Structure 1
Amino acid sequence: MTLPADENSSRVTLPKTLHEAPLAAHMVGRMSPEKMMSVSVIVRRRKPLDLPSLGGRILSHEEFNRDYGADPEEFAEIRAFAERNGLSVDEAASSLPRRTIVLRGTVEAMEKAFGVQLEEYEGHERKEHFHAYRGTIHLPSAHAEIIQAVLGLDARPVARSHMRILDPRQAAAARSFTPMQVAKLYSYPTGVDGSGQCIGIIELGGGYSASDLQTYFGSVGLATPTVTSVSVDGGTNAPGGQADGEVALDIEVAGAIAPGAKIAVYFTPNTDQGFTDAITTAVHDTTNKPSVISISWGGPESSWSQSSLTALDDACQSAGALGVTITVASGDNGSTDGTGSDTVDFPASSPHVLACGGTQLTASGSSIAAEVVWNDQASGGGATGGGVSGVFALPSWQANAGVPAPSGSGRRGVPDVAGDAAPSTGYNIYFQGQQQVVGGTSAVAPLWAALIALINQQKGSPVGFTNPTLYQNPNAFHDITQGNNGSFSAGSGWDACTGLGSPKGSSVSTALGG
């Protein structure tokens, strides 16, 4: 790639931006140089954010923006860089609190500005069409100091939904639940319904129809909650695709358990740019004001670039500082996460989220009769994700949890908590005009998000980043001691299948000050 003559001599590699050729895809040629595109440039914070140093204190948006947003002068430098390279700035999509400045221009201008070659790819299995680059991004040294990531130059799909529809062959033996029945089995707080709260939901595809939601909530005797669709990076509420079940599961589980809460659904493309922009948009949304965000999507850590991991993890860290809890599904493919070796799913592996694993729940009346690790891989199904991060260091709040150290050094253990996820003991939901029984760890993220919304209402203020407190209160959980997810087995205390266990809802509320 030939760099601009005036900047050749001072160009450096932007750290953590190495991208290998996409797996399970083949290149079909160079991108058309005239095609228009956009990128999200993530600029460094004014000063580093260290969540533990806040001691649980929740910052106002004003304080956060002043201390941990981007510096306006550094935004001005990026604007000048864009102008020199024939790019424009989308001011409406840019944000100092989100530290995101969005640049638009032709492929030719983007290649010149960032020192990459953009290529078109087609996926082997799903036939997705996307663009990507191989190698690293190159920037003038002055700009490389202030830019943490450039998202959008690579648009390969980064995540998959962690939802599993019940196999019809298992239907006769299945014992499904409504979300309210699961909440009752887990002793969720009563006398509250999430009023005054907003639950944010991140979706990387699919959509919902108002008629489906009305039919579902009417069938369980509830008024349909207020659901708002928020478009991020051109993503829209577009029902009619494979991801509709995921969207319905998230809305219906959260809305049935916390029917008084508003729900804001952030639709975005399935790219690292879309995923990160959706989280930062939700975290800094002062209109809908979600106090908890549910994420049921993810991909193996090994499939992410280092800069993308860092950018998205930083977004989750910002959530913690602002008092927004993020619940994330840990994956449905056991200890390997669908790869050839043990790995964990991201963003569940971020140390700034509450990672949610899966169980198989058996009830006797209104009580739990048995609960084991969800793993039906032997019959062609799935299993809860869990294991040890290959990227993130062991957080202080997990220091005494007994997380294994396969690499010889302490790393973040996944998951933190668990809940019913087996399709055979799954959730009755409704989408695309029909009722389905659905499981997967996708169900556990909104299950926990609804619990947080109830507790926030009880407490009268957001609980924020819950992990340090939850790890100090193991008695607030049903300890799951039977089953495995492949390489890891359940046992007393924390384990890499179900974390601390499934919730004793009222005890979790007490621990968090509800």
Structure 2
Amino acid sequence: MLSPTRRRSPSRRLLSVSLGLVTAAALSIGGASAAGAATSQSFPGAKPSWAKSSADAGAAPADTTVEGEIMLDLRDPAGAAALAKRVSDPTSASYRKYVSAGAWIAKYSPTKSDYAQVVSALKSSGITVVGTPKSRLFVVFRGPATAMDAAFQAALHRYHYRGHVLVAPSRTPNVPARFGTRVSGIVLDQGRTLTRPQVAGATKPETGAENAPKASSPASIPAPCSDYYGQNTAKLPAAYGRTVFPTSICGYNGAQLREATGVPQGADGHGQTVAIIDAYASPSIVSDVNRLSTSRGDRPLTTYSQKVPSTFYDEALCGGPSGWQGEQTLDVQAVHNIAQRAGVFYEGGFNCGGGIDVALSDVLDNQRADIVTNSYGDAGEPPLYAVKAEENQHLQAAAEGIGLYYSSGDSGDETVNGLPAQPDYFATSPWVTGVGGTTLGVAKNGSVALQTGWGTSIDPVVTDSTTGALGYSAPLPGAFQFGAGGGASALFGQPWYQRGVVPASIAGGQRTAPDVSADADPYTGEVIGISPVDDAKYPAVGSYTEETYGGTSLASPLFAATVALAQQASGHRVGFLNPTLYAKYRAHPSVIRDVKPVSGSAFAYTSSVSKHTFLVTNDTDSSLRTRSGYDTVTGLGSPTVSQLTRVVR
């Protein structure tokens, strides 16, 4: 799917070929150092850049409920980073000598007294505390605008932003001295509630048809979808030296995805647990997954457990359970399709902002899994001060031997959203594995007939109103639609494990994303079963239906499940994968299946809604390019289970 200002949009990036919904609102966690302030600490970064006078819609009503988050410093940030590197680096004597959550918290987390001081100050201000992780890295709180204004002198106003009216500080927030000197940042705006699943569903977007030349009309040419690559073809106007094209995939099932991933006989993930973080919860998740799985001859989902909040917040702003249900269903189905007997643990956030932070911390603080897939992210990269809490979470995960996998985005280099070319956070964090996307063609016998970088451009087929001749609406390949995110980070320098592997012409001395890739193209996506929820009648659901989804929201859980199989086969807990992955690749590049560019690859697609026909051109990802070796669309490549097992053994 696609991701919001924190587009923590489920990078949901769930793309169900209907355009991805993420929203990109730059995270605005405060950035000034807390130490040394006499009466208060000022955090200029907590006033987001989009809170401009030109967009001001007036003071926030006094009774408007606003969520905030305060971050605290680690006691020894350098020590925490050094530990994360030691246990993850295969050249270290401490390799894979992970520490427990309790040990990490006892040594590196903010002290109990510092944390209690913040919580006490919030409560005494008439503010309700709703999120207090064991790790004490942050506090999530909620309260009326009047209480927030009084506590932090923020003068909250409403602002027009990306089609929404959101609350944010109109002046720089200050944190009074009674909160202590260990506060490192504060968030008081509603930007993070724009986080959406980057979903694209079974109904592909119609982008481009409305731009057809005036002397033409959209054409309808039967191009029925295929159960496998090349099953059906359609004759279209000449393009790339031919007139006959394979049609898009109806949606792969578990057996096809396992074949394409090279899952060995008997490999099923038994004894492994993959955690999934999203917002809210689907009331029908197990029955939906089981109905689809059993109808396709797969095992039922019998290893599922979940922790979901008793109270949901900000449903209207976050898109509600209905807006996140497809993401959860895609994630759970993808993990189950690859690792049929692996444990699947789902934790839902109470909203798409601080609730997601709380959910991830619960997994880390209680070590509920050692593999976590996260299909959400920002549109681009927020300022560094805005991601301090998350970077501390990532350090904790690495030290505990918990691998974090984040989807790389569905908007290519983000210029399609009007931003400067850039990759998406969280995939650019130096302590997580960013998962990019491929277009995957699985043949009738299960072999990989096509694999290239995921980047889609579409061109409507049109009929000349005068001559009746068929042609295309625009010069090939047409308009960029969506594709895997990636590129060089502006926040993080190049980590030690990427040196000598990522070409300097790509990295420029910076961290680059993604690291690996898996199928993400909605036109070669995964079929899911879902009983849609009506937010007004939650938890009641509607009639079961099957849809096709894609996006790096699909790629991340597919790859996480592949890691589960590699852990099962190797007998090793992988932890933070990147140092081992890059080290093995540096020595033996053939250890990972390379994803190469493919020129002129395209599908014929006819919309089931409008009946318009399109030429869908693959491997056209904005300014990002698929190359032999490392690239910013697919990373090092898309390893099979046996390859990844050799990497981690």
Fold-level similarity (TM above 0.5)? yes
Aligned with 2:43 (options 14, 19, 39): 14
**Inter-partner Cα distance in structure 1 for 2:410 and 2:156:** 33
CA RMSD of aligned residues (A): 3.1
1:324 is matched with: 402
Number of aligned residue pairs: 498
Deviations 1:440-496 (A, max 9, x none): 111110001111222233344521000011112232321122045222222221111
Deviations 1:152-201 (A, max 9, x none): 54454353323322456875312342133222222134423222322211
Aligned with 2:291 (options 196, 208, 215): 215
Deviations 1:341-395 (A, max 9, x none): 3111111111111111111112332322231111112445311111111212111
2:195 is matched with: 159
1:369 aligns with 2:478: no
Do 1:233 and 1:268's aligned partners in 2 also have CA atoms closer than 8 Å? no
Deviations 1:376-432 (A, max 9, x none): 1244531111111121211111112235567x9521111100111112221121113
2:594 is matched with: 479
Which one-letter code corresponds to 1:434 in the other structure?
Answer: T
Q: CA deviation at 1:265?
A: 2.0
Do 1:480 and 1:491's aligned partners in 2 also have CA atoms closer than 8 Å? yes
Which one-letter code corresponds to 1:258 in the other structure?
Answer: A
Q: Secondary structure at the match of 1:335?
A: coil
Do 1:27 and 1:122's aligned partners in 2 also have CA atoms closer than 8 Å? yes
Q: Map residues 46-195 of structure 1 onto 2, 5 A cutoff.
A: 46-48=75-77, 49-50=80-81, 51-54=84-87, 55=89, 56=95, 57-82=97-122, 85-87=125-127, 89=129, 93-121=131-159, 125=163, 127=164, 130-140=166-176, 143=179, 145-167=181-203, 171-172=224-225, 173-175=247-249, 176-195=251-270
1:457 aligns with 2:593: no
Which one-letter code corresponds to 2:40 in the other structure?
Answer: R
Structure 1 153/489 Cα, relative in aligned 2: closer, same or farther at 3 Å? Answer: closer
Aligned with 2:553 (options 417, 442, 458): 442
2:467 is matched with: none
1:388 aligns with 2:463: no
Q: CA deviation at 1:123?
A: 5.5
1:225 aligns with 2:263: no
**Inter-partner Cα distance in structure 2 for 1:386 and 1:484:** 13
Q: Indicate the percent of aligned positions where both proteins have the same amino acid.
A: 24
Q: Which is bigger in relative contact order (C-alpha 8 A, separation at least 6)?
A: 2
**Inter-partner Cα distance in structure 2 for 1:94 and 1:240:** 23
Q: Secondary structure at the match of 2:373?
A: strand
Aligned with 1:308 (options 361, 374, 386): 386
Aligned with 2:414 (options 330, 333, 336): 336
2:332 is matched with: 251
1:354 aligns with 2:433: yes
Which one-letter code corresponds to 1:298 in the other structure?
Answer: G
Do 2:279 and 2:321's aligned partners in 1 also have CA atoms closer than 8 Å? no
Which one-letter code corresponds to 2:157 in the other structure?
Answer: E
**Inter-partner Cα distance in structure 2 for 1:271 and 1:121:** 19
1:428 is matched with: 527
Aligned with 2:345 (options 256, 264, 286): 264
**Inter-partner Cα distance in structure 1 for 2:306 and 2:158:** 30
TM-score by length of 2: 0.70
Q: CA deviation at 1:232?
A: 5.2
Do 2:153 and 2:174's aligned partners in 1 also have CA atoms closer than 8 Å? yes
Structure 1 88/248 Cα, relative in aligned 2: closer, same or farther at 3 Å? Answer: closer
